Copies of this chain bind each other. A is one copy, B any other.
Amino acid sequence: MPGSETAVGLRGLRKEFGPVTAVDGIDLEVRDGEFFAMLGPSGSGKTTVLRMIAGFEPPTAGTIELGGADVTRLAPFERDVNTVFQDYALFPHMNVLANVEYGLRVKKVPKAERRERALAALRSVRLAGFESRRPAQLSGGQRQRVALARTLVNRPRVLLLDEPLGALDLKLREEMQVELKELQRAVGITFLFVTHDQEEALTMSDRVAVFDRGRIEQVGTPAEVYERPATAFVAGFVGTSNLIAGAAAEKLLGRSGTYSVRPEKLRVVPGADALAGPDERSAAGTVAEVVYAGPATRFVVDLDAGGRLIALQQNLQVSSMEVLGLRGARVRLVWQRRHEFAIT
């Protein structure tokens, strides 16, 4: 579990590439042992931050601390961090064992010891027996695990992971998410994890930083970020942003401004005149579309008050045929007041 010591500290970190400001002044503390996710759209500066921490890019301004020591000006091989690259960057001319041993080899760890530690690392990622394969002979998931073993064997203070699951297919990706999380718990190393997949960030991490255009918009636990987004951008990026705005807001909420309710907070009640409870609000509308998605069904509802909301409903009891029949029906969407939040 996350400790309270600081593993990574960024202060006023900036990076400019010519006219482009890739990272625009970032302050961040990642605690020892934390599984920390950096979430944001493409081009928001996540990779650049990671590369500065690893030492591949010198910052334009600001400092980087690892375990309390300023490493801003150290070379990559002088920093006690390791990186799992998005494309894994396995050495194609070495077999799996040689790849995993690499970090120990260049640090002149005696042969017997490095062999032993490499084999242990391979066991920890469940790749015992694959020692003599070449990277080209592995599947995507296996490669990812070799890349992981290659870093773990060095027992770094911090592990940086740049979208390590980005190239995998969905099924494998879900399996790897579970494995990665378990591995992190087991080794206790701080993981700093880059992703643009909100669900991945929410399910795996202890805390999340949401990036936009080189800045951090919000840092918090997954629940904080999802349920109390600090900005409109966070609301939209982390989850479906169901907006109630303009005339609809006036009519339904009695206030002007823009508000949002998460789809899963909306109950779909057949018939337009169902009643709402005391702390609840509701809106009548027509079901424009019903999308069956296996575990859940999505209802796209055109509100009488204007605008469109999406409601998510777990397929707990209803059979699929029943829900599909709702297309075109009049319904009322009901939600608790505490689940509305204003968008700024």
Which A residues are within 8 Å of any B CB, using their own CB? 41-42, 139, 166, 169-172, 196-199, 202-203, 221-223, 226-227, 237-239, 262-265, 267, 291-296, 298, 312-317, 319-321, 324, 336
Contacts and interface: CB of A to CB of B under 8 A. Distances in A.
A262 B171 contact: no
A245 to B, nearest CB: 20
Nearest to A224: B320
Nearest to A139: B42
Contacts of A313: 314
B203 A264 contact: no
Consensus secondary structure, chain A interface: mixed
B170 A227 contact: no
A171 B239 contact: no
30 contacts: A41-B171, A42-B139, A42-B169, A42-B172, A166-B169, A169-B197, A170-B196, A170-B197, A199-B293, A199-B294, A203-B291, A222-B292, A222-B294, A223-B320, A223-B321, A226-B292, A226-B294, A238-B294, A239-B295, A262-B294, A262-B295, A263-B295, A264-B316, A265-B315, A265-B316, A295-B312, A296-B314, A312-B314, A313-B314, A317-B336
Nearest to A168: B42
Contacts of A314: 264, 296, 312-314
Q: How many copies does the complex hold?
A: 2
Contacts of A312: 295, 314
Tell me which of A223, A264, A292 has the highest count of chain B C-beta atoms within 10 A of its own C-beta.
A223
A67 to B, nearest CB: 29
A196 B223 contact: no
Given A315-B264, A336-B317, A292 B239 contact: no
Contact of A264 (B221, B238, B295): B295
Contacts of A316: 264-265, 267
Nearest to A267: B316
A237 B171 contact: yes
A318 to B, nearest CB: 10
Given A295-B312, A316-B265, A324 B196 contact: no
Contacts of A320: 221-223, 226-227
A197 B239 CA distance: 19
A203 B295 contact: no
A238 to B, nearest CB: 7
A166 B171 CA distance: 13
A223 B292 CA distance: 7
B294 A198 contact: yes
A293 B314 CA distance: 14
B41 A202 contact: no
Given A42-B169, A199-B294, A227-B319, 12 more contacts: A41-B171, A42-B172, A169-B196, A171-B237, A202-B293, A203-B291, A262-B294, A264-B295, A264-B314, A265-B315, A265-B316, A313-B314
